[in-house]
């Protein structure tokens, strides 16, 4: 497969239009057979449900070129399953999980020239999404929907690659108890725009959101879950009903236990405990594992012993093992790698 002539090692996290995308429409209670198209534009009625009441959900995963030169996708079945949960919560029709995986595979295959070569540090980010298309003016779910998948080659999510991040404890809340924080809906990200612009203006890379009910426990950031490492080498990661169940985090919990023999605690993490941890990182499809060097809470700085220049040693081991599995250098658990 001849690859596109892109500067793979220097691309950022942005949109690059690729050749083909997948589209399927839902009408009269059923999905059509769907297929690939060249048309990157979506034309909608002015009153489409998604435009008025933000009825949209999405997913994110990546395709990689392995050391062996194969194109693979990391755990797309889990994205398919999570999109079902997201759609149900917003009263949208479910896109069947097997069709979701097939649509993702078709999209990657049709854009294989954009899957970055092995060793460049870049990957193909895959974005499935679904939205209400017919006119809706009273507050109610749409009757018609479109499901699409496109891919875009991406580099590191945070500028500076793997340099430790500085995080602000946000004054805003991301998600309410019993709200929509646990699903991947555009509305959660719309909610976070003011908070992230504010954080960036103040010189921070990201926000740490506390639980909205008590503002005492660590939830997540706008686009990734938290990982902490204790001074005695345990992995601790927040458990909450209002954070997104990160597939990267679930994978890392397994990797920590089964590959690295670590003890893992998935539990409520009081913010007051954060100053005791040795290392901190963010994990997600886009973030992979991004180290955190400092968390600032209204002027009070928590500086992790791992410092501001390098990833902490345990974070690094987790990073190397996960990316090794994704890029075919380390044997993957059964079912984790979908070969295109």
For ligand PLP, the closer of residues 244 and 295 by Cβ is 244
Site string for ligand COI, 179-218 (x = CB under 6 A): ----------------------------------------
Compute the distance between CA of residue 266 and CA of residue 58 in angstroms, rounded to an integer: 25
* 175 near ligand PLP (CB under 6 A): no
247 binds, among ligand PLP, ligand COI, none (CB under 5 to 8 A by kind): ligand PLP
Q: Nearest approach, Cβ of 292 to ligand COI (angstroms)?
A: 16
Give catalytic residues, as residue numbers.
184
Q: At what angle do helices 97-110 and 76-89 cross, to 10 degrees?
A: 120
Q: Is 116 in the site for ligand PLP (CB under 6 A)?
A: no
> Of 223-242, which residues contact ligand PLP (CB under 6 A)?
223-225
DSSP count for the chain of H helices, then E strands:
6, 17
Provide the 8-state DSSP code for 47.
T
Count, residues in the chain:
340
- 248 binds ligand PLP, rule: CB under 6 A: yes
Which listed residue (19, 60, 162, 303) binds ligand COI by CB under 6 A?
Answer: 60
Least gap, CB of 288 to ligand PLP (angstroms): 9
Helix, strand or coil, per DSSP, at residue 215: coil
**Token code pair at residue 148:** 């699409």
Q: What is the DSSP letter of 11?
A: -
Report in angstroms how near the CB of residue 285 gets to ligand PLP at its nearest: 3
Number of residues that bind ligand COI (CB under 6 A): 5
278 with 229: CB under 8 angstroms? yes
Q: Which of 60, 121, 135, 233 binds ligand PLP (CB under 6 A)?
A: 60
Residue nearest to ligand COI (CB): 60
Nearest by Cα to 103 from 147, 165, 68: 147
Q: Does 211 bind ligand PLP (CB under 6 A)?
A: no
Residues 179, 295: Cα–Cα separation, whole Å: 26
How many chain residues touch ligand PLP (CB under 6 A)?
A: 12
Interstrand relation of 279-284 and 288-297 (parallel, antiparallel or unpaired)? antiparallel
Within 10 A of 105 (CB to CB), how many other CB atoms are there? 20
**Distance between CA atoms of residues 167 and 301, nearest Å:** 10
The binding site for ligand PLP (CB under 6 A) comprises: 60, 220, 223-225, 244, 246-249, 284-285
Q: Interface with ligand COI by CB under 6 A: which residues? A: 60, 223, 284-286
């Amino acid at each position: 497969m001849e690859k596109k002539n892109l500067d793979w090692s220097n691309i950022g996290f942005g949109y690059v239009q690729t050749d083909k995308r997948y589209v399927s429409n839902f009408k009269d209670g059923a999905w059509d057979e769907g297929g690939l198209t060249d048309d990157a534009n979506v034309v909608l009625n002015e009153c489409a449900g998604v435009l008025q009441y933000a009825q949209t959900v999405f997913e994110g995963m990546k395709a990689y070129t392995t050391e062996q030169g194969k194109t693979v996708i990391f755990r797309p079945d889990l994205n398919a399953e999570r999109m079902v949960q997201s759609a149900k919560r917003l009263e949208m029709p479910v896109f069947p999980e097997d069709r979701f995986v097939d649509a993702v595979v078709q999209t990657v295959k049709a854009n294989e020239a954009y899957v970055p070569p092995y060793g460049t540090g870049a990957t193909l980010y895959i974005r499935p999404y679904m939205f209400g298309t017919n006119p809706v003016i009273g507050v109610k779910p749409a009757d018609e929907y479109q499901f699409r998948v496109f891919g875009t080659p991406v580099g590191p999510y945070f500028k500076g690659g793997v340099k430790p991040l500085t995080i602000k404890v946000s004054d805003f809340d991301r998600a309410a108890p019993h709200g929509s924080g646990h699903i991947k809906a555009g509305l959660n990200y719309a909610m976070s725009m003011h908070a992230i612009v504010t954080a960036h203006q103040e010189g921070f890379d990201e926000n740490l959101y506390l639980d909205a009910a008590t503002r005492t426990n660590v939830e997540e950031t706008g686009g990734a879950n938290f990982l902490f490492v204790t001074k005695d080498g345990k992995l601790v990661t927040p458990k909450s009903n209002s954070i997104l169940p990160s597939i990267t985090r679930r994978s890392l919990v397994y990797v920590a236990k089964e590959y690295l023999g670590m003890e893992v605690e998935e539990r409520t993490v009081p913010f007051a405990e954060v100053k005791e941890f040795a290392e901190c990182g963010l994990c997600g499809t886009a973030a992979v594992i991004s180290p955190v060097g400092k968390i600032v809470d209204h002027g009070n700085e928590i500086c992790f012993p791992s410092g501001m220049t390098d990833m902490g040693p345990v974070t690094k081991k987790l990073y190397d093992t996960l990316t090794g599995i994704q890029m075919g250098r380390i044997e993957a658990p059964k079912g984790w790698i979908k070969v295109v």
